[in-house]
Amino acid sequence: MTRKSESKLRAAAYASVGAVLLLAASLGVEVAQAQAIMRTPTISVPSRIPTISPNIAARAAAVAPGPRAIPAIPHTTTIGRVGTTPVLPYARYSPNLYPSCSAPYRDGDGECLAQPNAGGDGTGKSGKKSAGKGRSNNNTPVAVNLRSFANEFVAEIDGTLSVTEADELARRHGLSRIASENFPLIGATFGLFRITDGRPFETARREFAADGSVRSVQPNFRYVLQDQKAGTPTEGDPAQYALAKLRLPQAHTLAHGANVTVAVIDSGIDAKHPELSNSVSDNFDALGSAEGPHVHGTGIAGAIVAHAKLMGSAPEARIIAIRAFGGTTGGAESSSYIILRSLNYAAEHGAQIVNMSFAGPKDAVIERAIAATAARGLVLIAAAGNAGAKSPPLYPAANPNVIAVSATDQQDRLFPASNRGNYIALAAPGVDIFLPAPDGKYQMTSGTSFSAAYVSGVAALLLERNYTLKPEALRMTLAKTARDLGSPGRDDLFGDGEADAFAAVMAVPADNATPVAAASGTTKREDADKRRDEPGIRAIEQPSLSSAGDKAAISQADRPATR
């Protein structure tokens, strides 16, 4: 082999070895990269922790003490019927809570208006099906409240019309008269009407309002009870932290609510429950329904008058059980017309206190009825609402003639679902409360509903102590004897603070005269005249208790400056 041939052969061999090495190196690098990906992947995963509103997050972990702590509140919940994303879950605290809405779709009173692609029939249903029916589909809010019953009006009509004439009035305008009656409370005749000819709500309302026999027309607004959806009723448990928080044992050495009548406008009450025996003095079914007792109404009555295993805030008070809320699926609901009937009955049948553990939108008819009820000297107490920190004011609690009550837990923290606002007057226990349930059972439930009921009972103690106490003096007594919570002084969470039954009763000058409305079968307990003095009770200066110029509305001095 020549030197030249040898050189060529050596060069070819080197080239082959180089190619093999290059291929091996290449394969080695690829395998190394694959192992690195499998062993230490670099994956960008966004945080799964929900972002919660600051007002809620600070308290979400402490809603309920012990093993019943409520899970963390999700950031958003999509509601199909209106497409909103409220901070609070739609059905967590009440199956019928109203969805929240964004600022551009609220009217001057903070109420939700129909949003784009939402039908204008007052139901809140999607407007997709009506896209081809001649309705414009633009981004202008439709001024129909989403919180009303579809195609229904509540209208004040000429009181001289007979039933036949009222039916004819309705037919002329394509309506049917569902019901109508005269309400002495407000000195007017109102009817409930429904659209029957398929016309748009606003068109029918405008044409009906133009009739000479019609004084006013408004939607038939929807009201819902303010409780957390209750679980299966369980056996009773006598542990009630609310008693100690409100200092009820001490207050009961002075008063038990004897000879005081509390109207409970709510769902059905189980008057046969051992906790409520001989406490329900009157029944009125504003719905005309055949439903049995309901868990909410029974619990509300128990918070006021329970007197067996449990103890209500006024165990000897009398209850007028007014069924205004019905519905067997989910939470019971009511309407403007039914609430009007209920308030009228309470005022006409001797109620001294009216408990309203429900909420809804601002309602001209109900505002008028509440003003008339207050003018008769009745004490009106309502649940602040369970719609949370971002909710606009709910009614009737936000009415200035009403004592609005928010809810606290065993650690004196605000119930996260509780409404806030300058209309909040007081706070009271409302988280994990043991109360009676239908069929002799018991429940543990939460909500501003039960806070309001406790305060209604405390008000009954004050009226037993001095039955001439006027509504504004009673409210001032509750405010000035309340135990301050939260930031010093009055605030939008707790109002003037948590109610203190003992301090309030001690602050009211005793008047042992028997009320004119006292029932002969109801007497004070033997220990009612006992007196227990305790240091630190604040003495307050009472307004005039009874005078010819008695004002029924809340005194201006007792209202927050911004109300």
Active site members? 266, 296, 449
CB-CB contact of 461 with 256 (8 Å): yes
CB-CB contact of 298 with 230 (8 Å): no
CA angle, 278 then 304 then 442, to 5°: 80
Q: Is 175 helix (H, G, I), strand (E, B) or coil?
A: strand
H helix and E strand count, the chain:
12, 17
Rounded distance between C-alpha atoms, residue 98 and residue 387, angstroms:
8
- Helix ranges (H only) for 100-176 are 163-172
The DSSP result for 363-415, as a single string, is -HHHHHHHHHHHHTT-EEEEE--SS-TTPPP-BTTTSTTEEEEEEE-TTSPBP
The DSSP result for 435-493, as a single string, is EEETTTEEEEE-SHHHHHHHHHHHHHHHHHH-TT--HHHHHHHHHHTSBP-SSSS-BTT
Smallest Cα–Cα separation from 141: which of 82, 78, 99?
82
Sheet with strand 280-285: strands edge to edge: 280-285, 318-323, 261-266, 353-356, 379-383, 402-408, 424-429
Rounded distance between C-alpha atoms, residue 301 and residue 312, angstroms:
8
**Residues with Cβ within 8 Å of residue 421, at least 6 apart in sequence:** 384, 393, 398, 404, 492
- The number of beta carbons lying within 10 Å of the beta carbon of residue 247 is 21
Rounded distance between C-alpha atoms, residue 175 and residue 172, angstroms:
7
Rounded distance between C-alpha atoms, residue 398 and residue 358, angstroms:
12
CA angle, 530 then 536 then 537, to 5°: 55
State the maximum Cα–Cα separation within the chain, in Å, rounded to a whole number: 141
Token pair belonging to 176: 């049917």
Rounded distance between C-alpha atoms, residue 383 and residue 454, angstroms:
11
- Helix ranges (H only) for 247-335 are 248-251, 295-305
CA 310 from chain centre, in angstroms, equals 24
- The number of beta carbons lying within 10 Å of the beta carbon of residue 267 is 30
Distances (CA, A) of 343 to 185, 284, 364, 458, 550: 8, 11, 14, 21, 21
To which residue do tokens 């989403």 refer? 146
Smallest Cα–Cα separation from 91: which of 232, 224, 234?
224
